[in-house]
Structure 1
Amino acid sequence: MGQDGANEPNGLIPVASYARTSEDVRQKDGHGVRHQLRINERTAREHGCRVVQVYTDNSCSASRPRAARPGFDRLVEDLMTGRSADGQAISGVVCVADDRLYRRAEDLTRFFGALTSRPGRIYVDPQGRRDPYSQEGLLEAVRSLEAAVAETQVRSRRLVNWHWARAVEGVPHSGPRPFGWQEDRITLHPAEAPLVEKAVSDRVGGKPVRAIALEWRDLGVTGTRGGRPNPQTVTQIMTAPRVCGYRANKGALLLVPETGEPVLGRWDPIVTPDRWAAVCATFSAGNLYMHRGSGAPRLTGQRAAPRRLASGILRCGATRHDGTTCHGALCAQKGRSKRSPYVYSCRDCGRCSISGPLADEALERLLFSQAPRSKQPTGVVRDRWFAGELDLAEKRRVVSDVLAGCVVRPGVKGLHAWDHSRVQPVWR
Structure 2
Amino acid sequence: MDLIPVASYARTSQDSRPRDERGVRNQHRINERTARDHGCVVVATYTDNARSATKDDRQRPGFDRLLADLHRGHAFTAGPLRGVVAVADDRLYRRPDDFIRFMAALTSEPDRVYVGRDGLRDPYTKQGLLQGVESLQGAVAEGRMRSLRVQDWHWSRAMDGLPHSGPRPFGWQEDRQTLHPVESELVRKAIEDRIAGSSMGQVAREWAALGMTGTRGGRPNPQTVTQIITAPRVCGFRAHRGELLIDPDTGRPLVGAWEAIVPPAQWAAVCATFSAGSLYVHRGPLSPRLTGRKAGPKYVASGFLRCGAETEGGGRCDQLMGGGKTAIRKSPYNYVCTAGRGCGRCAISGPLVEEAIERLLFPADGKAKVRLPESMRARWRSGDMGFEEKRRVIGSVFAHLVITPGKKGCVTWDHSRVVPVWKWADRFTPAEPAA
Please give the range of the TM-score, normalised by the shorter of the 2 chains.
0.5 to 0.7
1:51 is matched with which residue? 42
Partners of 1:193 and 1:113 lie apart in 2 by 53
**Deviation of 1:158 (Å):** 1.7
Contact 2:6 2:44 in 1 (8 A): yes
1:165 is matched with which residue? 156
Contact 1:375 1:402 in 2 (8 A): no
Alignment of 1:297-316 (within 5 A): 299-311=290-302
1:38 is matched with which residue? 29
Deviations 1:206-233 (A, max 9, x none): 4535698389549836243456666655
1:248 is matched with which residue? 239
* Count of residues in Structure 1 that have an aligned counterpart in Structure 2: 370
Deviations 1:241-295 (A, max 9, x none): 21221111222210123432211100012233233334444444445975269xx
Determine helix, strand or coil for the equivalent of 1:375: helix
Task: Decide whether aligned partners of structure 1 residues 262 and 46 sit closer, same or farther in structure 2, where only a CA change above 3 A counts.
Answer: same
Partners of 1:219 and 1:373 lie apart in 2 by 51
Pair 1:274-2:273 in alignment: no
1:154 is matched with which residue? 145
Deviations 1:29-51 (A, max 9, x none): 64443332122112223334321
Pair 1:374-2:365 in alignment: no
Deviations 1:89-132 (A, max 9, x none): 43432111011122233443444455456665443223334444
Determine helix, strand or coil for the equivalent of 2:376: coil
Letter in 1 for 2:356: E
Alignment of 1:258-337 (within 5 A): 258-286=249-277, 290-291=281-282, 299-311=290-302, 332=321, 334=337
Contact 2:205 2:221 in 1 (8 A): no
Alignment of 1:323-362 (within 5 A): 332=321, 334=337, 340-341=346-347, 361-362=356-357
Partners of 2:150 and 2:143 lie apart in 1 by 10
Pair 1:213-2:203 in alignment: yes
**Deviation of 1:144 (Å):** 0.7
Partners of 1:421 and 1:38 lie apart in 2 by 35
Partners of 1:138 and 1:410 lie apart in 2 by 38
**Deviation of 1:305 (Å):** 2.8
Partners of 2:363 and 2:87 lie apart in 1 by 39
Q: List runs of 5+ in structure 1 lacking aligned partners.
A: 1-6, 315-329, 343-355, 386-393, 412-416
Contact 1:187 1:267 in 2 (8 A): yes
Contact 1:239 1:276 in 2 (8 A): yes
Contact 2:200 2:226 in 1 (8 A): no
Contact 1:19 1:37 in 2 (8 A): yes
Contact 1:122 1:131 in 2 (8 A): yes
Q: List runs of 5+ in structure 2 lacking aligned partners.
A: 306-318, 323-336, 367-371, 403-415, 425-435
1:62 is matched with which residue? 53
Task: Decide whether aligned partners of structure 1 residues 301 and 29 sit closer, same or farther in structure 2, where only a CA change above 3 A counts.
Answer: farther
Deviations 1:46-89 (A, max 9, x none): 33432122233344443444765454344445445654334634
Q: Percent identity?
A: 50
**Deviation of 1:189 (Å):** 2.2
Contact 1:213 1:231 in 2 (8 A): yes
Letter in 2 for 1:423: W
Contact 1:70 1:407 in 2 (8 A): no
Deviations 1:124-148 (A, max 9, x none): 2233344445554333222111101
Higher RCO (Cα < 8 Å, 6 or more apart): 1
2:91 is matched with which residue? 100
Determine helix, strand or coil for the equivalent of 1:303: coil
TM-score (norm 2): 0.67
Alignment of 1:64-213 (within 5 A): 64-65=55-56, 68-76=59-67, 78-79=69-70, 82-86=73-77, 88-115=79-106, 121-132=112-123, 135-200=126-191, 206=196, 208=198, 213=203
Determine helix, strand or coil for the equivalent of 2:396: strand
Letter in 2 for 1:302: R
